[in-house]
Structure 1
Amino acid sequence: MNVTLRTPRFILRQPQVGDAEPIARFLNDFAVSGNLARVPFPYHLSDAKAWLRTRVPGLPVENSNFAIELPGEGLAGHVGFHPGPQGPVLGYWLGQPFWNRGIMTEAVIASLDWFFSASQAPAVYSGVFHFNAASLAIQTKLGFTQTGRSTLLCLARGAEVEHIDTIMTRSVWKARPK
């Protein structure tokens, strides 16, 4: 897969080797990594390089990631999908300097538009740790439905953490007001 998505303010593009330094810088911030399940803390340049080596051509739609690149500012974060036990899972993060600008809402909209047009998946799963009100607000605004609570390992915290589980079905996404 080699897809580039354009939004009114930025592009979503495939992660590149040159992204390693900003990825490491932004994810080596506990305020960011402490909200993510699959990211350790501290987060090193070697972690970013190892993850980037997994972004090879030909990955299935359900295992696609996009770097969020802002004109004149560079890489700001990531949005992407990975396989989960029930189906594809949406995950995302944004470097702290870019918070509170509506960037992630715009990125999630573009990535879900693409995902539901490129795959046959009936739904995308997601969720947030119980303390991540900003991320939950994005999902609520976009029409995700809470399906329950679980616990999920947070590598950065080294602990199982209460998780609010959410889902976005294809039918709800396609019917949403634009």
Structure 2
Amino acid sequence: MTTRRLTLRQPVMDDAERIALYLNNFAVAGNLARVPYPYHLADARAWLRTWRPDKPAGETGFAIDLGGEGFIGQVGYHLDARGETVIGYWLAQPFWNRGIMSEAVAAAINWYFRVTAAPKIRSGVFHFNKASLAIQNKLGFIETGAGNLLCLARGEQVRHIDTELERSVWAERQDA
């Protein structure tokens, strides 16, 4: 899948070195629930071995390639404890504040709602991640609650803001 600046594709083992390089940065890993810190090449390779091209939409993801740069981040889906689809994403720090993540997440949302009949997508951010919350607000997510969530990189429970995006809201925004 392509956008104005990006290619979203299945991650491959050749991405391992860049994944390890970019996630072995506490400024990135410390914003994510399921990523340890420090993050090693072995972690990236182990994670990549879990990817298969036949995963269902709610359990797949996309490597984010920027023209002239290659792999710079990830956007993907997983199922939460309730079996609901959650979108998560991360971007390498050198590429922050360029609108890249908004572009990638919007493309992933378009894809997800096109290939599923799901009524909504869930997400959320740690309370200190204002940039990620701004992306979600920009794309139509609304806050639905808060709680604590384990952040592996921080080794502790952290206040987490829960969000969701209704299919109908997304469709209205696309028609506007």
Scaled by the length of structure 1, the TM-score of the pair is 0.96
For the pair 1:105 / 2:115, whether they are aligned, the reply is: no
Q: Which of 88, 92, 99 is the equivalent residue of 2:89? A: 92
Percent identical: 60
Q: Report the alpha carbon displacement of residue 55 of structure 1 after superposing the two structures with TM.
A: 0.4
Q: Report the alpha carbon displacement of residue 149 of structure 1 after superposing the two structures with TM.
A: 0.5
Q: Report the alpha carbon displacement of residue 137 of structure 1 after superposing the two structures with TM.
A: 0.4
| Separation in 1, partners of 2:104, 2:55 | 20
Amino acid paired to 2:44: A
Query: What does the per-residue CA deviation read over 1:13-46, in whole Å, with 9 as the maximum and x for residues that have no partner?
Result: 1101100000000000000000000000000000
- Matched residue, 2:18: 22
| Separation in 1, partners of 2:163, 2:66 | 28
Amino acid paired to 1:22: R
SS of 2:97's partner is coil
> Which consecutive unaligned segments of at least 5 residues does structure 1 have?
none
Q: Which of 141, 146, 169 is the equivalent residue of 1:172? A: 169
Amino acid paired to 1:169: E
Q: Report the alpha carbon displacement of residue 85 of structure 1 after superposing the two structures with TM.
A: 2.5
For the pair 1:122 / 2:119, whether they are aligned, the reply is: yes
For the pair 1:158 / 2:116, whether they are aligned, the reply is: no
C-alpha RMSD of the superposition? 0.8
For the pair 1:146 / 2:143, whether they are aligned, the reply is: yes
Amino acid paired to 2:155: G
Q: Report the alpha carbon displacement of residue 10 of structure 1 after superposing the two structures with TM.
A: 1.2
Amino acid paired to 2:147: S
For the pair 1:66 / 2:62, whether they are aligned, the reply is: yes
> Which consecutive unaligned segments of at least 5 residues does structure 2 have?
none
Q: Report the alpha carbon displacement of residue 120 of structure 1 after superposing the two structures with TM.
A: 1.5
Report the count of equivalent residues: 174
Q: Report the alpha carbon displacement of residue 57 of structure 1 after superposing the two structures with TM.
A: 2.4
